[in-house]
Every structure is written in C-alpha cells, then in structure tokens.
C-alpha cells in the first residue's frame, strides 16, 4: 500500500502513474487523499479550469476534443475530466467513446480521465474538484471538465470551475428547451455547436437576446461580464479559436476582478460539503447510531423530532447521542 | 401568521387551503412545518405512494393523468405531486401543461401540486417527502409523485415512494438510452408508453430481458419481486388498468414482506438528510463561521484540513469553532 507522501512526491516529480493513482484516491474517497493533497497543495492554483456542459447530444465530447487539439497546437498542456452519466446505484459508467478516446491518447501533454456519476451527489462535486486539484498540481495549463448538464450534481461540478462553457445545438426538442433555462444561468460562455445545421442562426439570435436580458447570477461573479455567444462547428474546428479567445477574455475579466476571493468562495463551499460528508459518515456510517434513530422512529417520533434530537446532541458535544435519543445502551 | 397547530387542526378537519398551506411550508422549509407535522403525523402512513419517473418526452404527465382518472373511477382519492425541471439558481419552475392541469381540477377527490427542483438537492427530496406526508395525513388513498428521471435529486425523490414506476417509450435517442441504465435499477414496475408506436414491441422484449438478468437492488427491497413490463398507451388509456394491477401486486408483495421496516429505513435516510441540512445551516448559515473558514483557507490550509478542524470542533462540542480554527474573535 502506497503512502500518501510517496505518491505525492512521485506526482510532484511528474510521474503519470502517480497522477492516475491520486485521482483514483479522489474518486474513491480514499483516506490517504487528504494527506497527499496537503503535500501537493502549494502547487495548486496555476491551471485555468473550464467546465463544459450542455444537454445530451449537444456535442460536448467533440468540442472537448477540438478544444484540446487547438490548445495543444498552442503548446498548452491539457487535463480532461469527463463526468459521465451513470447509475446512482451501481456506480458504473457508460463510457463508450470516452474509453476509446483515452486509449488513443499518446500525447504526454494531454491527460484524459473519466469519472462516473456517483451515488453521493456531494461526493461527485468533491471528487471532481479533488481531481482537478491533482491535475493542477501536476502542472497542466488547462483543465477541461465535461459533464452532461441535466442534474444538480452536474451543475455543482461545473460550478467549481473558473469558466463555464455551456454547449447547445439547434434542433433539440422541447424537453431540452426546458433544461436550457437552468443552463443559461451557469454560463460564462455560450456555444452554439453544429452551427452549420438549420436553425443555428435562430438559436444564436435567441441566445443573444436571452443573454442581454438575463438576471445576474446569484454569486455575483459575473458582474460586468457580458456572456458571449460563439458559433462553433466542433466536428471541423470552425469557431473553436473564437471559443478559446472568449475563455481567455473571461479569464482576463476574473483576474482583473478579485480572482483569489472568487476561488476562495468556491473553496468555502467545498469545505461545507466535506464537513457534511464527514459528519454524516461519523454519525450514521460508523457504529450503530442509525439503529438508534430507527428505534426512535419506531416509537412514532417524526423525522424532524429525531433529527432535532440528533443535532442538539451533536452541538452539545455528546457524540454518542445516547442521552438525547433516550437510549442507555451506549 | 398562522400557527402550526391551527393549520394542522384545519388540515385534520379536511380544509384544502390548510393542505395547500402546509405543502408550501414543506416546500419552503418553513420553521413551522415540523411542529405542524408532529400534529398530523399519527395519520401518516395510510396512503400508497407511487413514484413515476422516466426520461423527458416519455409521456409521464399523460400517464399520471390517465392513472388519476382510472383511480377516480374506482373511487380512490388521489394526490399528485409533480416535481418539474427548473433552474437550480432561480428556483423557478417551468410548469406549462402542469399549471393548466391544476387549473382544470375541480374534482374534490384529486389534488395536484407542482414543485420546483430546488437548489439544495437534499432539500428537494425532503420537500417532496414532507409534501407526501401532508397529502397522506389529509387522507388521499394514492399519492402519485412525478419526476423527470435525469438527475440524482430526482432519483432520491422517487426512491422515497413505495412503488417506483419507470416510464419509457420507443424511438428515443442514444442519449436517452444512457439514462435508462440508472432508471432500470430504480424500477419496481416498467411501463412502455406509446405502445402503438413502431419499435414498442422491440423495447418490450429488450426490457423483459433486462429485467430477467438485472442485478438485485442494493437495498434488497425487491427480493423475490419480478419487475413486470407493462405496455401502455396513456393517451387513449390502453393498458392503464394493467398498470394499476401491477402496482397493486407490488403493494401486496411489500405488505407480505416487512413493509414497516422498509418504510422505516427510508425514514432513517430522511433523518440523515435533515440532520445534514440543519447542521450545515447552523454551522455556515448563521453567524460568520463561513468567514472563519475563509480566513483559514486564505492561510493556505487545504479544504480537508479546514473541514477536519471543523468536524473535530463540532464533535468536541465547541460549536463556536473558534479554538479549532485558531481565531480568538468569538
């Protein structure tokens, strides 16, 4: 079993197998991860993180590939994290193309990694952010995080990146339209992919209008930023250069504002999420406290009464909870 | 401002405006909800809760309508909770048809309510379960909970019901296929809707095979239960009666097993979620603890180090956290 320090040291030395290992630790919530992260943390923060999201079928993978190629032409190294749809129960991913893409990669300036959507949603965002930190410390200039923009967990994943690119394409049905509303609000840059298809001009116009009238994001990070709408044809590369320009402009914008404090706010959210996971683990994952809760529920208490007793108990420092739950066994 | 006890009393007396009010409390996380729930909780548990989920465009709303009509013909009262896709940021719902359906309802034996997907995913499942509890206590025989089966939060919502009906239809694209894998695992009953369309027979056969070979669900509640695959044409009512038979058979199956303990396990999950929400609220929502975390992060600690300090501090009963965070201001 590798020690956290050994892996971190190898990662700092540029060992790609250490990179792969540490991302696996992040993905599986391995207990060695936090110590390894602490070792490499000083090197975290140099990469620019780009989230790429959109409805199924918008061509996100093709765009990610095209963007990667262009960035490589410009001598930027690129880490790609693809968060695929999968079962919340089996934890298995439906990778398909992605696996083929991983196999194809022989360029040492590119690293591609897939990650399954996990049962624990907080867990998915955490694992993705951790993986980005690892790729960042390894030294990649750009990190592309690709998700299917359909669920809350996926929004959280891209929300942790620096620039969020939302990819849409003409000809999608009404159900896709419904998803757009939420997607528009997370976008720093909008892409109309498959811009050669009928309806692309109309979609561009509609988006331009939506962007002009849209409300400011709650976190306020886009104050003064006008979301550009970029026509792209990812399959032949048209417009991809415009997209990199738009991403660069957004980076410029955030850097001239207070990038550090914006990133720190995202870190606070990460701490909240880790605190929540850990407390849940301690309270319900270990020992037989779930059984105590069950016993109390069987006695006709409402879930809120039981939860309130648990919370009171925790805040009073009674981590065994036995008094509050009226159970003398512990 | 209405007191919790007043609303609960009116709800117990059959007042529909009290029903609407209390569901709003559930949806908004109103502080009066827990006390009101405690008043009506003895009446909770009589309704049978059916989750209806599936990919966009599968015809879930049409099926919910058809099921409601049939149940009414059989003199069952029906509560419907529709969880619609919406923005995680604005919290606004895209209701459309649903609003029209609500307006149409004049039958006192039916109650239809829409709920927006909220920013907090745990919150969505909680609000949905709470709303079901309220409708249950009000006295509805059947509660139908309709969600779009695309995200983790939506899976959680249907996972809290007694019988999960997954609705698919022929002719959906590959991206939809991807969603199916996760959907199949949550299904107690599978419906092939639009069974008059080309490809329906093939889909039926594929699903029959998938159901025969699929792995048992992790929670073990389907031990001994063979998931039926029902062809339905919701728009003209064909097969809806078979669906009600399948739901009844699943109810029979669970009741002959240990329904109480199955339901109690779901309550334990609910308590976990409420505990998590409350702790997060207390720790980060009130006061300026987020600022302490931020200060610590600014001093180059990793998110895990800060989180560990917070957790240790909480479990030690130091709810002010100031010592652990090395801050003497509080």
Residues of A in contact with B121 (CB under 8 A): 121, 152-153
Spatial contact of A2 and A22, defined as CB atoms under 8 Å apart: no
The pLDDT value recorded for residue A248 is 96
- The DSSP bridge partners found for residue A304 are none
Q: Where in chain B is the domain with CATH 3.40.50.300?
A: 44-257
- Cβ contacts of residue A228 below 8 Å, gap of 6+? A189, A190, A246, A249
| CA–CA separation, B308 and B304 (whole Å) | 6
Question: Which stretches of chain A drop beneath a pLDDT of 70?
Answer: 1, 84-105, 116-122, 149-153, 172-182, 213-223, 286-289, 317-330
What's the rounded mean pLDDT across residues B210-235? 74
Is the CB of A316 inside 8 Å of chain B's CB atoms? yes
Do the Cβ atoms of A153 and B152 come within 8 Å?
yes
Rounded to the nearest angstrom, the minimum Cα separation between B130 and chain A is 10
Q: Which residues of B touch A271 (CB under 8 A)?
A: 293, 297, 303, 306-307, 310
Per residue in B127-185, pLDDT tens? 899 999 999 999 999 999 998 766 666 777 888 899 999 998 887 654 455 455 667 77
Please tell me if residue A38 touches chain B, with a CB cutoff of 8 Å: yes
The closest of A256, A269, A251, A258 to A188, measured between CA atoms, is A251
Predicted pLDDT at A220 = 52
pTM for the model:
0.75
For the domain covering B44-257, report its CATH number: 3.40.50.300
B29 CB near a chain A CB, below 8 Å?
A: no
pLDDT in tens, B50-87: 999 887 778 888 899 999 999 999 999 999 998 855 43
| Residue B74 Cα, gap to closest chain A Cα (Å) | 32
* Of the partner residues B57, B87, B293, the one whose CB lies closest to the CB of residue A173: B57
Burial (CB count <10 Å: 0-12, 13-18, 19+), residue B30? middle
| Beta-bridge mates of residue A48 | A142
| pLDDT tens per residue, range A22-53 | 999 998 888 899 999 999 999 999 999 999 98
């Amino acid at each position: 079993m590798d020690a956290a320090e050994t892996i971190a040291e190898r990662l700092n030395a540029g060992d790609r197998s250490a990179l792969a290992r540490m991302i696996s630790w992040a993905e599986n919530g391995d207990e060695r991860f936090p110590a390894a992260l602490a070792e490499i943390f000083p090197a975290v923060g140099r990469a620019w993180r780009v989230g790429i999201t959109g409805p199924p079928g918008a061509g996100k993978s093709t765009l990610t590939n095209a963007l990667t190629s262009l960035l490589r032409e410009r001598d930027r190294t690129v880490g790609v994290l693809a968060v695929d749809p999968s079962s919340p129960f089996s934890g298995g991913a439906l990778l398909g193309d992605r696996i083929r893409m991983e196999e194809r990669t022989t360029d040492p300036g590119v690293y591609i990694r897939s990650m399954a959507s996990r049962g624990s949603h907080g867990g998915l965002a955490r694992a993705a952010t951790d993986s980005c930190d690892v790729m960042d410390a390894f030294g990649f200039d750009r990190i592309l995080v690709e998700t299917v923009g359909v669920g809350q967990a996926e929004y959280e994943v891209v929300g942790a990146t620096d620039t969020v690119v939302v990819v849409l394409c003409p000809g999608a049905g009404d159900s896709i339209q419904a998803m757009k509303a939420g997607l528009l609000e997370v976008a720093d840059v909008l892409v109309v992919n498959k811009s050669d298809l009928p309806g692309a001009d109309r979609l561009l116009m509609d988006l331009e209008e939506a962007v002009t009238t849209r409300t400011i994001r709650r976190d306020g990070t886009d104050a003064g930023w006008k979301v550009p709408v970029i026509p792209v044809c990812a399959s032949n590369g048209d417009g991809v250069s415009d997209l990199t320009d738009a991403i660069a402009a957004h980076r410029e914008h955030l850097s001239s504002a207070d990038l550090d404090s914006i990133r720190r706010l995202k870190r606070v959210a990460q701490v909240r999420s880790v605190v929540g996971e850990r407390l849940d683990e301690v309270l319900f994952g270990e020992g037989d406290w779930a059984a105590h809760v069950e016993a109390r529920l069987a006695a006709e208490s409402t879930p809120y009464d039981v939860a309130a007793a648990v919370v009171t108990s925790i805040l009073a420092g009674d981590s065994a909870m036995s008094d509050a739950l009226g159970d003398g066994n512990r």
